[in-house]
Amino acid sequence: MFINAILLALREIRRNLMRSFLTILGIVIGVAAVITMVTLGNGATRMVGEQIASLGSNLLILRPGQRMGPAAFGAPNFRLADAEAIRAQVSALKAVAPMVSSGAPLVAGNNNWSSTVTGATNDYFVAGNWKIAAGRTFSEDEQHAGRAVCVIGATIQSKLFGHQNPVGAELRVKNFSCRIVGLLTSKGQGAMGMDQDDVVVMPLRTAQRRLTGNPQDVSVILLSMRDDAAPEQIMPQIRKLMRERRKIADNDDDNFNLMDTRQIAEILSGTIGTITTLLGAVAAVSLLVGGIGIMNIMLVSVTERTREIGIRLAIGALEHEVLLQFLIEAVALSAFGGIVGILFALVSCLGLSALMNMPFEFQPGINLISFAFSALIGVLFGYMPARRAARLDPIEALRHE
């Protein structure tokens, strides 16, 4: 009986291939959209996590201004002495890297490029988890005397030097010439198009003198904690020290902020998670609309096939047999739509993640859920038309034109 109903339903789908295809289109799009959204969203979350880890493990960022974001408006910069004080008074720190940065045009030979130049001590390479691919970091003398030397990232090398070894070459930064002493190991494409390798680092003193023009101010201090350090102990210490040094009254707010990169990672992946959920929900609505499409076409098909239903009833089909046939047709259609949707999603996920430089990982969970959901939609939206078909009066149905 059940097998018969399946047989009848499949025959009917095959008989009306074009209509069947149009019927499942909504489901195909809905399923593909849901899976693509969720897969890409999860990929993005993972990628952000990886990249923040690549920034440096156990990294704290100390910046002037009240909250995270670019605006440090009105809040005074840190002084070099602040970094020294932290180094002297806070234990469990692996590296304290005061830094300044400034956008600057770069020229080497006939090539030019524009990038952000960072002035920092060697601690910067420790805090930022940078490895030297060729050459070296700064010498004591270079740092102390503020010599015109620099270490460049992989992007700068490829933009200005192609495949040549840049170490030892001269790089013109803004209005002075700088000798390249080291090349950093590539960290790869960053989150949301941010390129971490697009970087030029020179000794802090050099940058302060020649780029920012202020020999005492630093704009950011990177702090790398030891592996066994507890941020919840270290962070209040640093905060207290900074409040003292910046002479903030007890009832005033901080005019600087201290962030744990892990915290940033959490905030970012939280945001991406919300966006993923939202997009997934929108896509789920389209899946629902696809279900309504199935109901619509099944209803039309019941009207269109009234005579056929009449024939079946006259021949001796029972109500529940006709019901089952139409229900199975709807479920088979929507389940098939689900499968096609999954294939579409696979293709679009592969394409989009390649386009956005994101890792792609097949997620069986969301695929299974989407498939089950599409079949469920078949049951829900197929039931009404199926019941209508089953309840037809055979005489009326036979007379139907």
Enumerate binding residues for other proteins (CB under 8 A): 1, 4, 7-8, 11, 15-16, 307-308, 310-319, 321, 394-395, 398
Coil vs helix vs strand at 113: strand
Query: What is the residue-wise DSSP string for 311-362?
Result: HHHHHT--HHHHHHHHHHHHHHHHHHHHHHHHHHHHHHHHHHHHHTT-----
Cα gap 281→296, rounded to integer Å: 22
Residue 151 or 324 having the CB closest to other proteins: 324
Residue 12 or 197 having the CB closest to other proteins: 12
- Give the nearest distance from C-beta 336 to other proteins in angstroms: 20
- Give the nearest distance from C-beta 321 to other proteins in angstroms: 7
Which residues have C-beta within 8 Å of that of residue 88, sequence separation ≥ 6?
Answer: none
Residue 254 or 308 having the CB closest to other proteins: 308
Residue 17 or 249 having the CB closest to other proteins: 17
Using CA atoms, how far residue 303 sits from 308, 323, 324, 387, 389, in Å, is: 10, 14, 17, 12, 8
Cα gap 244→71, rounded to integer Å: 23
Residue 58 or 306 having the CB closest to other proteins: 306
Cα gap 324→321, rounded to integer Å: 5
- Give the nearest distance from C-beta 395 to other proteins in angstroms: 5
- Give the nearest distance from C-beta 393 to other proteins in angstroms: 8
- Give the nearest distance from C-beta 292 to other proteins in angstroms: 27
- Give the nearest distance from C-beta 375 to other proteins in angstroms: 25
The span from the first CA to the last CA of the chain, in angstroms, equals 29
Query: Which of 4-20 are b and which e, b meaning 16 or more Cβ less than 10 Å from the residue's Cβ?
Result: ebbebbeebbeebeebb
Residue 266 or 396 having the CB closest to other proteins: 396
